[in-house]
Amino acid sequence: MQEPSITPDLIAAHGLKPEEYDRILEIIGREPTFTELGIFSAMWNEHCSYKSSKKWLRTLPTTGPQVICGPGENAGVVDIGDGQAVVFKMESHNHPSYIEPYQGAATGVGGILRDVFTMGARPIASMNSLSFGEPSHPKTRQLVHGVVAGVGGYGNCFGVPCAGGEVRFDPAYNGNCLVNAFAAGLAEADKIFYSAASGVGMPVVYLGAKTGRDGVGGATMASAEFDDSIEEKRPTVQVGDPFTEKRLMEACLELMATGAVISIQDMGAAGLTCSAVEMGDKGGLGVKLQLDAVPQREANMTAYEMMLSESQERMLMVLRPELEAEARAVFEKWDLDFAIVGETIAEDRFLILHGNDIKADLPLATLSGSAPEYDRPWVETAPAVPLDAASVPGVDPIDGLKALIGSINYCARQWVYEQYDTMVMADTARTPGQGAGLIRVHGTDKLLAFTSDVTPRYVKANPFEGGKQAVAEAYRNLTALGAVPLATTDNLNFGNPEKPEIMGQFVGAIKGIGAAVAALDMPIVSGNVSLYNETDGAAILPTPTIGAVGIIRDPETAITGQARDGHVALVLGETHGHLGQSALLAEVFNRVEGDAPPVDLAAEKRHGDFIRANHALIKACTDLSDGGLALAAFEMAEAAGVGVQLDSDDAAPLFGEDQARYLIACNFDQAEALMIAAGQAGVPLASVGRFTGDTVRFGKSEAPLAELSSLFRGTFGATFG
């Protein structure tokens, strides 16, 4: 094949700016080959190089005594005691999911699972955080059905339980849905596998499925805005096979036990290029690849296509040569490809051969380490105008509750999670639908809690407080189960960073997240940045999703009960009735106004510690967030099948979204003991009502629980079923 000439149009089509191309010329001292241009495009795009975000990501707290491995590897690793570690990460597959919903979402799940088992961990839990446009938009229905089916189709076949997640709808996502996938696995703390190559002349081995033309240019596509040419990008979406992935995992874990693996890296974004360069760079070595040896499922593939393909279910490994026969036997047993495709070399080179032709010869360390790093101009988001409380009309509190639970944003989500396998592996202690999920650590008394949280309208109004709030809500969701928060992963979804106001949102959110994870001892150990989430210049809401993991070391300390008839309802924390950016304002009055609720991190920590210290006195607990006390009390009552009566009928204390608050259900004696303990600890605790009967009553306003439950449970299916 005649390779195309390097023209300004071809350079631009590869997502490279003229000044970036000039830098390439400077590095290699000549015009790049077509394959080399593709390699630079893959390594230097936003998705792989984090060129707009690196400066700010470095400011995040990433260390702690519990952290074994922080950001920079395939996933973060956290010590959970007894020689065990939890390995986890969250990553986006936004752009592919919009173009091809089923495969985009499915391969997002596949990719995050590979990130986990690449490190030697067996996956035990998944989550997904999904953001879609308004239900009336012509594309939303197709996206919801396709994405949910894709997540379920891949995860269910692979065999990992879904522990939780979230789904939201807003017009800002009409042209760009978000699909953030999370996975966690268990490993022995002293048997973690890393990606840094070591040793000269060591074989580089290709493992897994064959390479095809699917996903060529996927990472570059994920680093650009959408416009009306979106359909042309369909070939950049990968196609997944969960059954192959399952075999790949078993083969990799078996191989790791043989001692043959020096380093291993999954082939994700930018495929063979990125995995080979990262392994070489981390080990301070060069890599030589012979592409004729790459297993191919399509005829006449070019070097360019093989280097940039993002075909799924593939790994790259550096192998101990004396154990080649044992390693090959493992992969042949699992009916997977095992091919030596190159070797590590002492020189700082990334040398690509196809037949007798040199298709690329680049300085490897420079290719990896000299990706552009931008200090993008940014403007701080202007302070939000505080909400004039007098401007919020009075509302019957039951009518307000009906508006929330009958809206697509606050109704029950069982239509979604019932399509996911939540019980596979038989270690699920709490299924989705009630705050954080809970998975038993098999063969031990320990439990791991998982949650995913962000409130995008808060972040848009006030990026700093919104960033803090996402972490604080994750902290509360774990705490409400009695779990000690361990660490976090983030998936930072924003619009075009070249716009100073978007970059300002990003910087503000990072500062808020950093302050919160430091104060709450939840370091960021892994994550992903997804920028350019825009269509025709319209950006998504800033959506920095926080995935968090907590631990319960003794099942006796878990708070997993339900409210029952006769229980007292208590609120821990101060209620001021903050309605700015609230669910009530948005869903009842169609107003998105005011400032985000302020987050007092010291209060968050104090109240969290109080919950955990007094777990024995608490039967059921949930945090107060969207929808305030009214929605939290209804959800707790509905889950238990018992009515609830709250003393107030005032909208502000019922629907206000003040932070650092929990709703507690317990019997009268326990309530008395908690009041005494709260007085001693100096934390505010107030009785707000009780759980009883078969109705929901706020002040004098009342409705049958059964009627409200039907609305709550039926809305999602009625909209999308």
Which pair of tokens denotes residue 214? 């699917």
Alpha carbon distance 334, 351 (integer Å): 31
The CA distance from 43 to 676, in Å, is 59
- Name the residue among 471, 455, 401, 477 with its Cα closest to residue 581: 455
- Bridge partners, residue 317, by sequence: 205, 264
Helix, strand counts (H, E) of the chain = 25, 28
Element (H, E) at 163: strand 162-169
* Amino acid letter, 206: Y
Tell me the Ramachandran region of residue 386: left when phi exceeds 0, alpha when psi lies from -120 to 50, beta otherwise: beta
Asked if residues 257 and 295 have their Cβ atoms less than 8 Å apart, the reply is no
CA atoms within 13 A of residue 259's CA, in its CB half-sphere: 2
Residues near 39 by beta carbon (within 8 Å), at least 6 away in sequence: 273, 307, 308, 350, 352, 360, 362, 367
Parallel, antiparallel or unpaired: strands 524-530 and 484-493: parallel
Q: Which residues form the catalytic set? A: 47, 93
CA distance 492 to 286: 32
Q: What is the phi/psi pair of residue 80, to 5°?
A: -120, 15
Distance CA 636, CA 434 (A): 8
Q: Chain-centre distance of CA 64, in angstroms?
A: 21
CA atoms within 13 A on the CB side of 277: 31
**CB–CB of 539/229 below 8 Å?**
no
Determine which helix (DSSP H) or strand (DSSP E) holds 515, and give its type and residue range. Answer: helix 500-519
Q: Which CA distances in Å does 464 have to 53, 446, 507, 510, 516?
A: 16, 35, 8, 7, 10
* Residue the block writes with tokens 């700082």: 348
Burial class (CB in 10 A: 0-12, 13-18, 19+), 287: buried
> How many CA atoms does the CB half-sphere of 161 hold within 13 Å?
21
Given a contact cutoff of 8 angstroms between Cβ atoms, the answer to whether 182 and 90 are in contact is yes
- Dihedral (Cα; 660, 665, 668, 670), 10-degree rounding: -70
Q: CA-CA distance, 184 to 90, in Å (whole number)?
A: 9
Question: Which position has the token pair 């001692």?
Answer: 259
Tokens 């490809």 belong to 337
The SS3 assignment for 586 reads helix
Measured distance CA(106)–CA(662) in Å, rounded: 36
Strands 695-698 and 644-646: parallel
Assigned token pair, 508: 């503000």
Residue 9 buriedness (CB in 10 A; 0-12 / 13-18 / 19+): exposed
CA 323-327-330 angle, to 5 degrees, is: 150
* Distance of alpha carbon 80 from alpha carbon 84, whole angstroms: 6
Write out the DSSP string of 175-194.
T--EEEEEEEEEEETT----
Show the CA angle centred on residue 649, arms to residues 647 and 655, nearest 5°: 105
> Residues 22, 27, 28, CA angle at the centre, nearest 5°?
100
